[in-house]
Amino acid sequence: MSGSPKAIRGRHSRTGPRPIEAVAGATTMAVAAVLIAIGVFAFAVALARGDAGVAWQAYLVNLLFFLGIAQGGVVASASFYLTQAKWGGSTPYRLCEAFAPFLAVGVVLFVGLYFGRTLIFPWVLHPIPQKSAWLNVPFLFARDGIALAIMAIASYAFIRMSRSDQARAWSVAVSDIELPPHSVRVLAPLLGVLYVFIYSLLAFDLIMSLAPVWRSTLFGWFFFAGCFLSAVTAMALVAAILRGRLGERNLFTNETIMHDLGKLVFAFSVFWVYLLFAQYIVIWYGDLPVETFFIVQRVHHMPWRPLSIACLVLIWLIPFIVLMSVRAKKNPLVLGIVSSLLLIGIWLERYVLIVPSLSLDAIPFGLVQLLISLGFLGAFLLCSVPGLNLVAQAATSGEPVGDDEEGAGEE
């Protein structure tokens, strides 16, 4: 990451933080609570009127979307420690970790998926003898539930270390402390390895098993890379929003910080399309029916083709074109709009990956699914409020930031 410490410090205010209530206070919590109530009500109405299938589909789509942001954020924090990133002081670390409380909620919501198992997993009512040792209800919920719980515990342990005085002192020290605390250096790579294995497992069990004949060894990579991209993009969107809400003098008014966040969004958007193409080219070249049907259903058949194209446009094409220039990355309005569109694209990608396996000939999306999605958004916002308060405190603390890169070029 680029950045001159003197330049950053010169533009960064040392005034105290604004009242936290102006950032993520009672109003935000009230809105989140209302959204949760709306989502629960819509879910109950859908079950009562016989639309349980579409309700559980929306449940799974949103669970994987918001869980991916929360977990991807913690892994982003671990990756910052592994790369010894000091380009924003402690603020980027608090920004990464702001969504983590949703991890515990995600574990509970995953357990709730058990009640919709017959409507979600086709192999429950129509077992596949060759795969019954792996695809059976007790084993799937046990392994995925334990894996998610382990991931959440490891993430919370890492966040606790990341918020210690030693870790914060390292993140704001320009050159006095060379390495992060030992405990962080031990747990950060372990967290990354767990993330790769567990989120690949979730991709195979909760998405690939919906079309149990299909197989793709790259699908796990594609899924957890998408989760990481959604987390980085959510960070950029939050930074663009807080830039205005925290007043004129805060870390996010620094163009260098916005530029660095924009580069992360740009880079991982390109990485996402690389993995998409790598998976597609192998399936296209192999031309095996058990692999190609999954792609053909989504890319060549209506009504899913427009949605698949929209995913590519929102997640890769728009970010690639718009964020190619330095000026666009530094502009919070542009970065905020691109980040919003990209997050919509990631949500749509989850929808296109999951729903055609259960409803091939129609797009089951209406008011009920929208309200359920808003309910998940409310739960995610409510969980993120404490973390956003810490982001606000760090962004307005006036602490020194940046590596010792005097005179480093911007790009």
Q: What are the pLDDT digits (tens) for 147-165?
A: 999 999 999 999 999 998 8
For the cut 50, the answer to whether the pLDDT of residue 306 exceeds it is yes
In which band, very low, low, confident or very high, does the pLDDT at 402 lie, cut at 50, 70 and 90? low
Higher per-residue pLDDT: 210 or 301: 210
**Chain segment 369-378, per-residue pLDDT in tens:** 999 999 999 9
In which band, very low, low, confident or very high, does the pLDDT at 215 lie, cut at 50, 70 and 90? confident
The CA distance from 233 to 204, in Å, is: 24
- What tokens does 204 get? 């195979």
Check if the beta carbon of residue 363 is closer than 8 Å to that of residue 303. yes
| Amino acid 393: pLDDT | 84
- CA-nearest of 32, 66, 61 to 375 is 32
In which band, very low, low, confident or very high, does the pLDDT at 174 lie, cut at 50, 70 and 90? low
Average pLDDT, the chain: 87
The CA distance from 83 to 67, in Å, is: 24
For the cut 70, the answer to whether the pLDDT of residue 272 exceeds it is yes
Higher per-residue pLDDT: 38 or 395: 38
- For tokens 């372990």, what's the residue? 190
In which band, very low, low, confident or very high, does the pLDDT at 109 lie, cut at 50, 70 and 90? very high
Provide, rounded to the nearest whole percent, the portion of the chain with pLDDT above 70: 90
**Chain segment 309-350, per-residue pLDDT in tens:** 999 999 999 999 999 999 999 999 999 999 999 999 999 999
| Amino acid 28: pLDDT | 80
The CA distance from 296 to 111, in Å, is: 32
In which band, very low, low, confident or very high, does the pLDDT at 400 lie, cut at 50, 70 and 90? low
Check if the beta carbon of residue 137 is closer than 8 Å to that of residue 124. yes
Crossing angle of the two packed helices 102-112 and 52-82, in degrees rounded to 10: 150
> What is the pTM (predicted TM-score) of this model?
0.90
| Amino acid 302: pLDDT | 81
| Amino acid 254: pLDDT | 83
Q: Which of 74-88, 136-150, 192-206, 341-355 has the lowest mean pLDDT?
A: 74-88
In which band, very low, low, confident or very high, does the pLDDT at 271 lie, cut at 50, 70 and 90? very high
The total of other beta-carbon atoms located within 10 Å of residue 16's CB is 9
| Amino acid 376: pLDDT | 96
Q: Widest CA span of the chain, in angstroms?
A: 67
Burial class of residue 231 in the structure, from the number of CB atoms within 10 Å of its CB (0-12 exposed, 13-18 middle, 19+ buried): buried
